[in-house]
Structure 1
Amino acid sequence: MNASRWFLREPSAEAAARLFCLPYSGCGASMYRKWPRFVGDTEIVPVQLPGRENRFREPSYTTYEELADDLVEVLRPYLDRPFGLFGHCGSALPGYETAVRLKERGYPAPARLFVSSQVAPHKGPHGRFLRMTDEELAEEVRTLIVELGGTPRPDLVELSLEILRADVETNKRYHPAEPVRLDCPVTALGWDEDVEVDHRLMDTWAECGDTTFRVLHGPHYRFMEAPDDLLDAFVADMAG
């Protein structure tokens, strides 16, 4: 498996630790372009998934389980130092599933799994996106493109809608009956102005492992700006 396709840049050999970041639903790894390369001595490593951006011609995964099966093998050579996993909303779930697969295969465990704006896996699927029509999702795509600093051209909206619809359908399929309790600690990040996932719905992540709960300021999309309180949480909890 060609690991280079999975990263916008090769992870640095100089990093003391790595945080692998999965893209938000409907997006590719470039959504992390506003984030710094390093947070403290931890390198931010955006993960590029099939079916988007430079991997658009590749088929998207249809289940998080299939994605995790392949992702752990891609990441394995880079797990030679402390590392974490981060996902927001829909991408928090394949982040969790990847941590599960690492445990099942006896691979190194993350120093921390960061899940943002998402209910625990056995309490989903959750969110209004799951009930939206293509027209409603297209409006969300326009908002997302603007949040990312782009212009919502019709061709870009159409392309992003296709990716988002595939991600939504994958989310719908994911509903483990019982959570696997992880060996690694979890940080559950809620947002006090988030109308998509009320941070109070995230308490059942405690059933997935030793969990630290943090409520950060802002709405659903604020994480894209790499706000200081989010970066501070990474530094504190990766070291913790």
Structure 2
Amino acid sequence: MTSGSTVPLRRWLPRPLRETPSRIFCLPYSGAGASMFGRWPDVAGDTGLCPVQLPGRENRLREPHFGTYEQLAKDVVEALLPAMDRPFGLFGHCSSALIAFEIAVVLHREGLPMPRRLFCSSQVAPHEGPGGSYLTMTDEQLRAELVALSTNELDDTVLDVVTEVLRADVEANKAYKPAEPVLLDTAITAIGWSADHEVAPERMSGWDQYSKRVHRVVLPGVHHTFLDAPAALLTQFVDGMVSDD
């Protein structure tokens, strides 16, 4: 498997890096690429928002799938460490919150700079999963879900490819089962959404076991409201990157 360091940084970070005082690296959820953050601004206050492109999708379609969250986290750290040269955070929604967490675990284990904050949206704590409707769907159901979520009409060839990527991502999610919580020296903002029927906000209390500094917040919206970069979410980013509480 290709290691993170052998792939140019621009492949991992398709948006040009801004010289902002801080950065948040944003991980796409299952089946998606960095373009899912297309409606997000480049910055939130003084913090650059940096969508991460994972292998096996979009402009990295010809690369092999990352395999497991553990391997992906190692590759991300290896590739993005030069860009972690200032206060930074990690954002993940649903399955990608687990990827963000595993990246923090690798940084912690290797004694590397830690994120100032993890922003974990619509995801139960790692030891309480895996969970979510995708995990029990057939390929046909996953395909239908992609059609429902897409803002553009997808032809059958593209749908075949994206469904294959989504299936591999789902299998990686199902295989990720940490044995017990890891207490991290970083703050965590656990973001629930008031009308989220996929992951109800009250199911996210388990994140308290991963940090002594957990801020739980419920924002107005449904499971996919975050895609529109609502002001309430951007405010969490701005406030979270200037506070360690």
Q: TM-score higher than 0.5 here?
A: yes
C-alpha distance in structure 1 between counterparts of 2:159 and 2:64, whole Å: 19
Q: What's the secondary structure of 2:32's corresponding residue?
A: coil
Name the counterpart of 2:10: 4
Give, in whole Å, the separation in 1 of the partners of 2:93 and 2:125: 12
Q: Partners in 2 of 1:162 and 1:212 — Cα distance? A: 36
| Alpha-carbon offset, residue 41 of structure 1 | 0.6
- How many residue pairs get aligned? The number is 236
Asked if 1:95 corresponds to 2:95, the answer is: no
Gaps (5+ residues) in structure 2? Answer: none
Alpha-carbon distance, 1:61 to partner: 1.3
Question: By how many angstroms is 1:199 displaced?
Answer: 1.0
* Partner AA of 2:17 in structure 1: P
- Cα distance in 2 for partners of 1:158, 1:216 equals 35
Mapped partners of 2:84, 2:66: distance in 1: 23
Question: CA offsets, 1:15-53, max 9 Å, x none?
Answer: 111000001211100111100011101001000010000
Structure 1 gap ranges (5+): none
Match of 1:228 in 2: 231
Provide the TM-score with structure 1 as the length reference. Answer: 0.96
**TM-score normalised by length of structure 2:** 0.94
In the alignment, structure 1 residue 21 sits paired with structure 2 residue 26: yes
SS of residue paired to 2:241: helix
Residue among 106, 120, 125 paired with 2:111: 106
SS of 1:73's equivalent?
helix
User: C-alpha displacement at 1:154, in angstroms?
Assistant: 2.6
**What is the one-letter code of the residue matched to 1:18?**
R
- Measure how far apart 1:179 and its partner are: 1.3
Partners of 1:44 and 1:94 in 2: CA distance: 17
- Cα distance, 1:222 vs structure 2: 0.7
Identity %: 52
Runs of 4+ in structure 1 deviating by more than 3 angstroms, as ranges, are none
Instruction: State how far apart, in whole Å, the 2-side matches of 1:104 and 1:48 are.
Output: 24
Partner of 2:187: 185
Give, in whole Å, the separation in 1 of the partners of 2:181 and 2:167. Answer: 26
Q: What RMSD in Å do the two structures reach over aligned CA positions?
A: 1.0
> Counterparts of 1:236 and 1:121 in 2: how far apart (Å)?
25
Provide the rounded CA distance (Å) in 2 between the counterparts of 1:196 and 1:122.
18
